[in-house]
Structure 1
Amino acid sequence: MELSEAVRRRRMVRNYSSEPVEAAVVDRVLAAGHRAPSAGNSAGWAFLLLDNPDDVARYWRATAGDRVEAPDRWLRGLMTAPVLVVTLSCKDAYLERYAEPDKGWSDRDEARWPVPYWHTDTAMAAMLMLLTAVDEGLGACFFGLPGPAVDRFRAAFDVPTAYTPVGVVSLGHRTDDAGPAGSARRGRPPVADVTHRGRW
């Protein structure tokens, strides 16, 4: 599939069929995420792959708690995804990399980073996964972890505190019902409204 077609067809899918996703396809999605830009080649991201029913169920129990027993339409749909990839960022990897001699900084001062590129690069990895899912004929959705659930998530999967969950990519075969429309019903502003040429 041409990149332009994958970009045009990309949308957040929130409901999946029971058809399993081939392991080779999941590997290609992960490999695409691994190709994301990384400031200084710091590679300060990691992916927690949850691709068996027990692990996926444990994720939902850890992050949704009692809502699992009586989920709303959004949660009920996303819980049908057979594969979850939690994308995580590691700030320390960037601070350490940029304190190395070839970068010219001798300290790990976080103030040098007005934008937290550890999160930015991880989000770009997630976007490459979303586009690869489209190319593979899959549905996918990127969603965040609720703040109060992060500690429960860490405990459930032994995630080191140095890693921050940036978001989750759900993967699966889409159904005719892609799930609740979410914010898509709002529509996007025209490109001209968000593009400032030459000056604001």
Structure 2
Amino acid sequence: MRINETERDALYKVIFSRRDVRRDFIPEPIPDEVVERILMAGHHAPSVGFMQPWDFILVTDPNTKQAIKAGYQAASAESAEQFAADKQQTYKSFKLEGIMEAPLGICVTCDRQRNGPVVIGRTIKPEMDLYSTVCAIQNMWLAARAENLGFGWVSIIHDEVLRDTLDIPEEIEIIGYLCLGYVSKFNDKPELEQFGWLPREDINSLIHRGKWSQK
């Protein structure tokens, strides 16, 4: 199962051109087989103890999306107050979701009881199942980019809104609400970098050689 150079380069192209898409969605429907490929990519993510703790709730109903959008708007207003006064207006100017514009929303959850209370790899770090589910989302994100689909993670929303709107049981953890759809363009840089909110860190300052104190 050797990866050739062309395949390797394609993977890196997908990784470096991946974007958190919040705008520029277009109403073109996503073929079912494309959605299935993206979900299958998520389902093939690494998972601790091979427990595969994820579930995927597909959201297309406009009324359901509107309820989620209202939850986002309330959470965004709450979030704005946490920034320093000189940054609040900049924060409010950002478009940080595409809930109504994206043809498909996907809520990804984690069932922490799947396969029983004792799972290989969770005996010392019980949160590993949560990290596994995040790996599934990353797989979906890269698969979506490879399909030329925009993909955005809406993190500014309270779990209770998604739980109530999507009828998610209390014992199930909510990991993320994702917006998926074709877009008119992909930005050359992540939006927050492009707008000057934060720069990309120099990777050389993040690498430690052997010990934390040795950069």
Gaps of 5+ in 1: none
After TM superposition, the structure 1 = structure 2 runs for residues 112-131 of structure 1, keeping only pairs within 5 Å, are 112-114=123-125, 116-131=127-142
Question: What is the aligned partner in structure 2 of residue 189 from structure 1?
Answer: 201
CA shift in 2, pair 1:43/1:123, >3 Å: same
Q: Give secondary structure in 1 for the equivalent of 2:29.
A: coil
The alpha-carbon distance between structure 1 residues 113 and 51, as it changes in their structure 2 partners (threshold 3 A), is farther
Hey, what's the Cα distance between the residues in 2 that align with 1:181 and 1:81?
18
Residue 76 of structure 1: how far off its partner (Å)? 6.6
**What's the secondary structure of 1:48's corresponding residue?**
strand
1:6 counterpart residue number: 14
C-alpha separation between the residues in 2 aligned to 1:128 and 1:166?
14
Structure 2 unaligned regions, length at least 5 = 1-6, 77-91
| Structure richer in helix, relative to its length | 1
8 Å Cα contact 1:139/1:172 also seen in 2: yes
Partner Cα separation in structure 2 for residue 157 and residue 29 of structure 1: 21
TM-score where L is the length of structure 2: 0.73
Task: Give per-residue Cα distances to partners, 1:151-174, cap 9 Å, x unaligned.
Answer: 232122111112111112211111
* Pairwise CA distance, 1:80: 1.0
CA–CA distance in structure 2, aligned partners of residues 143 and 74 of structure 1: 11
Q: What is aligned with 1:135? A: 146
What amino acid sits opposite 1:118 in the alignment?
D
Cα shift at 1:66: 9.8
CA–CA distance in structure 1, aligned partners of residues 14 and 108 of structure 2 = 21
**In 1, Cα distance between the equivalents of 2:111 and 2:156?**
16
Task: Give the Cα separation in 1 of the matches to 2:210 and 2:191.
Answer: 35
Q: Map 1:91-170 onto structure 2 (within 5 A).
A: 91-93=112-114, 96-98=117-119, 103=120, 112-114=123-125, 116-146=127-157, 149-170=158-179
CA distance in structure 2 between the aligned counterparts of 1:4 and 1:176, rounded to whole angstroms: 19
Q: Distance in 2 between matches of 1:66 and 1:173?
A: 26
Contact 1:53 1:82 in 2 (8 A): no
Alignment map for 1:24-103 (pairs within 5 Å): 24-64=33-73, 74=95, 77-93=98-114, 96-98=117-119, 103=120
CA deviations on 1:37-94 (whole Å, 9 max, x unpaired) are: 1111111111111134344334324554598xxx965257443111111111122226
Q: Share of identical aligned residues, percent? A: 26
TM-score, normalization by structure 1: 0.78
